[in-house]
């Protein structure tokens, strides 16, 4: 769906196209620190669009119809050229050359708005912008013109797929996103065999990175953040990553091994800190493994999250609840009974009451009861979602983003 990485861990115009007509501006008032339409109460400077997108996406996945004002807030963050910045405090002010547009925020917004539907004008312009800033190697960096990295390239692939594009046909200089990802996949010998690197080092070397690997598996499979478990597969042996499919298989094998070393979860080792469980990246690894059909390890790891992630999610906020909801969805786990916790309710409580929840309150029913009624009476249930995190357990997409934030 998160702090962008390492040092940064410690440290949003007018609506485009045929979008919903602009309502009253939900930006901050003098007595309000942040927009009331925004999920979470921490400073949105670096992750406002990202966490909002993930929240809406996770809600949609869980069968919740989001608050109209929250969707409108996200739509109004788009700049006239189609791109999104991490956060624009005053969406009525036109974007200019100094507006820090980024591929990750733009791609997350595309995935959320495409899932909700009715925003083709917005997503179409966003995809056009993404294509315009594709690198010659076929990939994307966090900022336009930045060196391609696995995390950014993969989240853009997810956005392209969500918008109905064929990622393998989106090329620059004859190179597609898959060409970029294959260049970031480690060979089958040496340390980190089969993993993905975030970026090459200064000498062009590749170092295995678990959160980049989770992102890379999804990207190589041409999938976004919402997945259903694929056909169950047994672990494949590592082979030369000549195709996206083989690179995904290699990456999944690496994640399975890494998870198995530490009681079915990943560890985080920030500079100067003791290693500790990385809840966000573990959730992302669950999604990646499920997408590849590696359901055995995915189910073990989601069970670990059920038992251990409550305190982390409460501290980290909407992005964390979203990541867990997406991991639950990927493994067929009930997000309303996740180790005894209702992740959907907890997510909803971090922002404006969803439309369905508000209706259910008026009827004296909870959201879960209303879903049952809606399924039987109307045969339709709206979906809305969230994903991502802050704190120690950082998800693969946002962690990759923070690395390049000044």
CA distance 151 to 197: 9
Domain that holds residue 89: 6-402
Q: Looking at the predicted structure, is the pLDDT value of residue 16 above 60?
A: no
Q: Is residue 167 part of a domain?
A: yes
pLDDT band at 269 (very low <50, low <70, confident <90, very high): low
pLDDT digits (tens, 9 = 90+) for 80-134: 999 999 999 999 999 999 999 999 999 999 999 999 999 999 999 999 999 999 9
Q: Looking at the predicted structure, is the pLDDT value of residue 216 above 60?
A: yes
pLDDT band at 262 (very low <50, low <70, confident <90, very high): confident
Tell me the C-alpha to C-alpha distance, in Å, between residue 222 and each of 227, 248, 292.
11, 10, 11
Q: Is residue 39 part of a domain?
A: yes
What pLDDT does 386 receive?
33
Q: Hey, what are 67's tokens?
A: 């608050």
pLDDT digits (tens, 9 = 90+) for 158-183: 999 999 999 999 999 999 999 999 99
What residues pair up with 277 in beta bridges, in sequence order? 267
The length of the chain is: 406
Residue 163 backbone class (left: φ over 0; alpha: ψ -120 to 50; beta: rest): alpha
Q: Looking at the predicted structure, is the pLDDT value of residue 31 above 70?
A: no
Q: Looking at the predicted structure, is the pLDDT value of residue 397 above 90?
A: no
Closest by CA position to 354, among listed 38, 64, 10: 64
Q: Is residue 116 part of a domain?
A: yes
Q: Looking at the predicted structure, is the pLDDT value of residue 37 above 90?
A: yes
What pLDDT does 184 receive?
98
Per-chain mean pLDDT for the chain: 84
pLDDT digits (tens, 9 = 90+) for 46-79: 999 999 999 999 999 999 999 999 999 999 999 9
Query: Is this model's pTM higher than 0.85 or not?
Result: no
Q: Is residue 225 part of a domain?
A: yes
- Domains held by the chain: number: 1
Query: Which letter, b or e, does each residue of 47-78 get, where b requires 16 or more Cβ atoms within 10 Å of its Cβ?
Result: bbbbbbbbbbbbbbbbbbbbbebbbbbbbbbb
pLDDT digits (tens, 9 = 90+) for 346-377: 999 999 999 965 554 444 444 434 433 433 33
- Angle formed by the axes of helices 103-116 and 120-132, to 10°? 150
Q: Tell me what the mean pLDDT of segment 142-156 comes to.
A: 98
CA distance 9 to 5: 5
Q: Reduce the secondary structure of the chain to three states and give it as a string.
A: CCCCCHHHHHCCCCCCCCCCCCCCCCCCCCCCCCCCCCCCCCCCCCCHHHHHHHHHHHHHHCCCCCCHHHHHHHHHCECCCCCEECCCCCCCCCCCCCCCECHHHHHHHHHHHHHHCCCHHHHHHHHHHHHHCCCCCCCCCCCCCCCCCHHHHHHHHHHHHHCCCCHHHCCECCECHHHHHHHCECCCCCCCCCCECCCCCCCCCCCCCHHHHHHHHHHHCCCCCCCCCCCCCCCCCCCCCCCHHHHHHHHHHHHHHHHHHCCCCCEECCCCCCCEECHHHHHHHHHHHHHHCCHHHHHHHHHHHHHHCHHHHHHHCHHHHHHHHHHHHHHCCCCCCECCECHHHHHHCCCCCCHHHHHHHHCCCCHHHHHHHHHHHCCCCCCCCCCCCCCCCCCHHHHHHHCCCC
Q: Tell me what the mean pLDDT of segment 329-354 comes to.
A: 97
Task: Please report, for the domain that includes residue 133, its CATH number.
Answer: 1.50.10
What pLDDT does 228 receive?
86
Q: Looking at the predicted structure, is the pLDDT value of residue 405 above 80?
A: no
Q: Is residue 1 part of a domain?
A: no
Q: Tell me what the mean pLDDT of segment 8-37 comes to.
A: 45
Share of the chain above pLDDT 70, in %: 78
What pLDDT does 164 receive?
98
What pLDDT does 125 receive?
98
Instruction: For tokens 């995390």, name the residue.
Output: 151
What pLDDT does 357 receive?
57
Q: Is residue 252 part of a domain?
A: yes
Q: Which residue has the higher pLDDT, 90 or 403?
A: 90
Question: Do 75 and 19 contact (CB within 8 A), yes or no?
Answer: yes
What pLDDT does 235 receive?
64
Q: Taking the mean position of all CA atoms in its chain, how far away is CA 146?
A: 20
Q: Looking at the predicted structure, is the pLDDT value of residue 285 above 60?
A: yes
What pLDDT does 272 receive?
73
pLDDT band at 273 (very low <50, low <70, confident <90, very high): confident
């Amino acid at each position: 769906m998160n702090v962008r990485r390492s040092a940064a861990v410690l440290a949003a115009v007018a609506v485009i196209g045929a979008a919903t007509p602009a309502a009253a501006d939900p930006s901050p008032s003098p007595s309000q620190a942040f927009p009331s339409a925004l999920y979470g109460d921490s400073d949105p400077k670096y992750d406002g669009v990202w966490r909002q997108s993930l929240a809406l996406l996770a809600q949609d996945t869980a069968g919740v119809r989001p608050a109209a004002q929250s969707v409108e807030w996200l739509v109004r963050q788009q700049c006239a050229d189609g791109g999104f910045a991490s956060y624009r405090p005053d969406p009525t002010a036109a974007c200019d050359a100094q507006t820090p547009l980024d591929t990750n925020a733009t791609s997350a917004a595309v995935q959320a708005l495409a899932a909700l539907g009715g925003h083709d004008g917005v997503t179409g312009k966003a995809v056009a912008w993404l294509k315009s800033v594709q690198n010659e190697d076929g990939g994307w960096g966090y900022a336009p013109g930045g060196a391609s990295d696995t995390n950014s390239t993969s989240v853009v692939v997810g956005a392209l797929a969500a918008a109905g594009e064929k990622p393998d046909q989106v090329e620059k200089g004859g190179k597609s996103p898959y060409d970029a990802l294959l260049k970031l996949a480690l060979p089958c010998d040496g340390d980190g065999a089969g993993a993905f690197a975030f970026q090459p080092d200064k000498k062009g070397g590749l170092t295995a990175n678990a959160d980049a690997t989770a992102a890379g598996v999804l990207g190589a499979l041409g999938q976004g953040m919402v997945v259903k478990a694929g056909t169950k597969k047994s672990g494949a042996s590592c082979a030369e990553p000549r195709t996206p499919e083989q690179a995904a298989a290699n990456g999944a094998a690496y994640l399975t091994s890494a998870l198995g070393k530490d009681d079915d979860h990943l560890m985080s080792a920030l500079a100067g800190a003791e290693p500790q469980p990385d809840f966000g990246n573990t959730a992302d690894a669950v999604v990646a493994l499920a997408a590849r059909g590696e359901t055995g390890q995915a189910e073990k790891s989601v069970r670990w999250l059920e038992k251990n992630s409550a305190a982390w999610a409460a501290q980290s906020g909407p992005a964390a609840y979203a990541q867990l909801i997406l991991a639950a969805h990927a493994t067929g786990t009930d997000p309303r009974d996740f180790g005894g916790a209702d992740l959907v309710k907890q997510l909803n409580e971090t922002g404006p009451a969803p439309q369905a929840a508000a209706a259910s309150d008026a009827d004296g029913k909870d959201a879960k009861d209303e879903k049952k009624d809606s399924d039987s009476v109307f045969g339709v249930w709206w979906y809305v979602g969230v994903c991502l995190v802050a704190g120690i357990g950082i998800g693969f997409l946002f962690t990759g983003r923070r690395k390049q934030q000044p």
